[in-house]
């Protein structure tokens, strides 16, 4: 074939037009002189396949307050120069390139199941043991951690670490942890061995924009290695739930009973954006929160749901008797902030 037109479209896509040719026109009869080479035969390695990580997690920056998701790529083999991430909205029939990435994320596999720990101060009792498949980790100062460094995703919990010590067996031991970051306190006791570890490096993450209409719909994605084959690239099916729009769980739940047994509960909401503690300035109320919902639990069963548009509800003595026969000495509940985009946020589970 003889090329007649070469055009460059989306990143990683080359459109070529060609015509049939008579190869005899280009056939050469001269022969070259005999030459010797001292260089050994060199095999050109195939490019490494790309691993794609699609992260449906809370937003990491205020400017990411949308219905999108984060994506990262990494690789196992050394011959890798980047990849094009493409999306299909028709079940894999066609793909559209979204962006290209040549910065690989530091990823690994957890060698231990992280135990539950403190979330309001540094957890110095627990440690992480991670075996990296790509990249390296390093220690930093406590101040740098407080300024956001060494942020990572372990299972469903976002946390930070100060110390990263390389062990003789090639694993890293991570200690002095800040747990339950970005509203993931609910995940501190959900860990299992062999969970995925991803360092949330801003250079390796990309925010994929997505409209609210696509929440809950399956999409097919491919991470096509530069120099790789589009058809041979493994597709990833992913259903996005817009976790980044879920309100954080409320905090500081207080209870008070009056003389007839009515129980009044009050709490303080949290915000996903502009939550920094600045002198003389209150935090912004989360614009996603439209109200609250509290579930009254009897063992594992929900016996009553009470809604409110303010940070207080009253569970009357009459309602308690209807639910428990008599006024109980303790009441277990799950409190949710209700979001405008994704309804319930993360729960605050308490017994009062």
Q: Please report the DSSP string for 158-183 in residue order.
A: EEEEEEEEE-TTS-EEEEEEE-SGGG
pLDDT higher than 80, residue 282: no
146: three-class secondary structure by DSSP: helix
> Which of 293 and 40 is assigned the larger pLDDT?
293
**Apex CA 337: angle with CA 331 and CA 339, to 5°?**
150
Question: pLDDT class for 8, splitting at 50, 70, 90?
Answer: confident
237, containing H or E segment:
strand 236-239
**Rounded Cα gap, residues 292 and 294, in angstroms:** 7
**Considering only CA atoms, which of 149, 148, 112 is closest in space to residue 131?**
112
Percentage, residues of the chain above pLDDT 90: 72
Domain count for the chain: 3
**238 part of a folded domain:** yes
Question: pLDDT class for 10, splitting at 50, 70, 90?
Answer: low
**239 part of a folded domain:** yes
Mean pLDDT in residue range 133-154: 96
- Could you give the dihedral angle defined by the CA atoms of residues 308, 309, 314 and 319, in that order, rounded to the nearest 10 degrees? -20
Q: Does one domain contain both 193 and 161?
A: yes
Q: Does one domain contain both 239 and 303?
A: no
Q: Does one domain contain both 120 and 163?
A: yes
Mean pLDDT in residue range 90-111: 93
**9 part of a folded domain:** no
Q: Does one domain contain both 74 and 215?
A: yes
> Which of 97 and 13 is assigned the larger pLDDT?
97
Q: Does one domain contain both 150 and 191?
A: yes
> Which of 107 and 79 is assigned the larger pLDDT?
107
**306 part of a folded domain:** yes
Mean pLDDT in residue range 285-302: 92
Q: What is the mean pLDDT of the chain?
A: 90
What is the maximal distance between C-alpha atoms in the chain? 109
Q: Look at residues 183, 199, 215 and tell me which one is the last residue of a structural domain.
A: 199
**Rounded Cα gap, residues 100 and 76, in angstroms:** 18
**Rounded Cα gap, residues 118 and 175, in angstroms:** 13
Q: Which two tokens stand for residue 340?
A: 């405008």
Q: Does one domain contain both 224 and 271?
A: no
Q: Does one domain contain both 55 and 168?
A: no
Q: Which two tokens stand for residue 226?
A: 């530069």
Q: Does one domain contain both 158 and 240?
A: no
Domain that holds residue 221: 50-105+204-245
Q: Does one domain contain both 297 and 168?
A: no
Mean pLDDT in residue range 45-55: 89
Residues 227-248: tens digit of each pLDDT = 887 888 889 999 999 999 999 9
DSSP state of 321: H
pLDDT higher than 80, residue 28: no
Residues 296-313: tens digit of each pLDDT = 999 889 999 999 999 999
**pTM of the model as a whole:** 0.81
Burial of 95 (0-12, 13-18, 19+ CB in 10 A): buried
């Amino acid at each position: 074939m003889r090329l007649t037109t070469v055009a460059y479209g989306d990143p990683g896509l080359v459109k070529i037009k060609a015509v049939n040719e008579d190869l005899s026109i280009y056939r050469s009869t001269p022969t070259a002189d005999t030459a010797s080479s001292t260089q050994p035969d060199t095999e050109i390695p195939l490019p490494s396949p790309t691993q794609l990580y699609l992260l449906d997690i809370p937003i990491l920056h205020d400017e990411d307050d949308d219905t999108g998701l984060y994506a990262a790529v990494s690789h196992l083999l050394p011959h890798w120069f980047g990849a094009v991430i493409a999306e299909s909205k028709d079940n894999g029939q066609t793909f559209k390139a979204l962006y290209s990435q040549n910065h690989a994320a530091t990823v690994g596999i957890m060698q231990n199941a992280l135990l539950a720990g403190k979330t309001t101060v540094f957890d110095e009792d627990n440690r992480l043991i991670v075996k990296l498949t790509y990249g390296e980790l390093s220690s930093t100062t406590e101040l740098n951690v407080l300024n956001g460094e060494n942020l990572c995703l372990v299972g469903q919990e976002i946390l930070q670490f100060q110390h990263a010590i390389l062990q003789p067996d090639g694993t890293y031991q991570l200690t002095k942890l800040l747990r339950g970051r970005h509203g993931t306190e609910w995940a501190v006791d959900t860990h299992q061995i062999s969970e995925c570890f991803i360092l949330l490096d801003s250079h390796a993450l990309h925010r994929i924009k997505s409209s609210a209409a696509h929440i809950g719909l399956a999409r097919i994605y491919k991470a096509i290695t530069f120099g790789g084959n589009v058809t041979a690239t493994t597709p990833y099916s992913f259903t996005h739930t817009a976790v980044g729009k879920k309100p954080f769980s409320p905090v500081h739940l207080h209870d008070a009973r009056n003389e007839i047994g009515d129980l009044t509960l009050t709490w303080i909401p949290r915000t996903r954006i502009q939550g920094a503690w600045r002198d003389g300035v209150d935090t912004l109320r989360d614009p996603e929160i439209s109200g609250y919902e509290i579930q009254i639990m009897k063992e594992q069963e929900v016996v009553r749901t009470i809604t409110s548009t303010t940070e207080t509800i009253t569970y009357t003595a009459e309602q308690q008797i209807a639910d428990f026969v008599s006024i109980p000495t303790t009441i277990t509940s799950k409190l949710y902030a209700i979001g405008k985009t994704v309804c319930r946020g993360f729960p605050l589970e308490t017994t009062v």
